[in-house]
Structure 1
Amino acid sequence: MTQDADANLEKVNNQIISEFSKTLEMFSLNKTEAQLFVTLYLHEAPMTLDQMKDALGKSKTAMSYAVRRLQEFNLVERVFQKGVRKDLYEAREDLYKKFMKTYVNRWLESLNLQINNLADIQEDLDRYPHEHKELFEHKIHEAISFHRSLEQVFSKIKKNDFL
């Protein structure tokens, strides 16, 4: 390849990483995690932390942290290659299912936590007489109902065949 062709290919690769990363950031990945995932996804072979660092121009520590987070989301896995002493990582396939499953589970966990926190607030409110108590109770009830409605929607999505 010529130098111009290499430069153009690098430019296209960077544009893909940039645009695809923006989408992944909507799934609560930070910019580095999103860029790393896309880099691993586009790369034809598993990568070491050093290769990731060089590819993204970030520190090895940042790559290590991002890889761990991506592993927590079940989006990246460590792989073995005979004769290679360093840890290798690659993006898992089946993007849609992996991201939707992660996203829906995170929503359900968050909703459950919020419902419990609102219920605790409601219990605390019951212990203290207050002139606006009825208004607060009504608003808390509405907030809990809203969260439960979202919980039902995400539970249906989770039960659907495409997850």
Structure 2
Amino acid sequence: MNQDKQEQINNQLISEFSKTLEMFSLNKTESQLFVILFLNDQPMTLDDMKDSLGKSKTAMSNSIRTLLDFNLVERVFIKGARKDLYQAKKDLYEKFMKTYVKRWLEALELQITSLESIQDEVNDLHSDSDILTNKLSEAIKFHRSLEEVFKQISQYDQ
């Protein structure tokens, strides 16, 4: 396969794969960087990443920090290397699902707490607004149902 065609296919792969990752709340640069690290067999420096994506070193540093926070990449040590090196972690599906489920559960917990607080305020007012009370109850029930689904999913990952 000629070099131009291979580069075109590689760019398409990065583009399409990163679109999927963006659904997991990664921004475009973070998604593209993860795909590049995932496809690359060797650990990469920030300079390597910058050259691969054509972005600034600052953008790479911020993106790698996010990917580290999500536990999707790891810093690796290679004797004699003077710069930090990073690579995508193995078990892609497991890592994404654990991260995604954890984030959903944290967000749901906050939302349920907020909705229950609003419900308490409505109850304290002894409001005659049955519609509002019913809608709040439905919203809390919806969030609790989602929470239960994500808790069940997280049990499969353990």
Q: TM-score range by the shorter chain?
A: over 0.9
Residue number in structure 2 paired with 1:147: 143
1:157 aligns with 2:153: yes
Residue number in structure 1 paired with 2:109: 112
User: What is the count of residue pairs matched by the alignment?
Assistant: 158
Moved more, 123-132 or 78-87: 123-132
Residue number in structure 2 paired with 1:52: 49
1:95 aligns with 2:92: yes
Q: How many Å apart are 1:128 and its aligned residue?
A: 2.6
TM-score, normalization by structure 1: 0.92
Q: How many Å apart are 1:127 and its aligned residue?
A: 2.8
1:80 aligns with 2:77: yes
The alignment partner of 1:19 has SS state of helix
Provide the rounded CA distance (Å) in 1 between the counterparts of 2:126 and 2:150: 36
Q: CA RMSD for the aligned pairs?
A: 1.3
The alignment partner of 2:83 has SS state of coil
Residues 43-92 of structure 1 show CA distances to partners (whole Å, capped at 9, x for unaligned) of: 11000001101100111111000000000110000011111111100000
TM-score, normalization by structure 2: 0.95
Q: How many Å apart are 1:16 and its aligned residue?
A: 0.7
Letter of the 1:114 partner, please give it: Q
Unaligned runs of 5+ in 1: none
Residues 5-60 of structure 1 show CA distances to partners (whole Å, capped at 9, x for unaligned) of: 22221111111100110111111111111000000011110000011011001111
Residue number in structure 2 paired with 1:137: 133
Residues 83-121 of structure 1 show CA distances to partners (whole Å, capped at 9, x for unaligned) of: 111110000010010011111111111111100000111
Residue number in structure 1 paired with 2:14: 17
The alignment partner of 1:86 has SS state of coil
Query: Could you list the runs of 4 or more consecutive aligned residues of structure 1 that deviate by over 4 angstroms after TM superposition?
Result: none
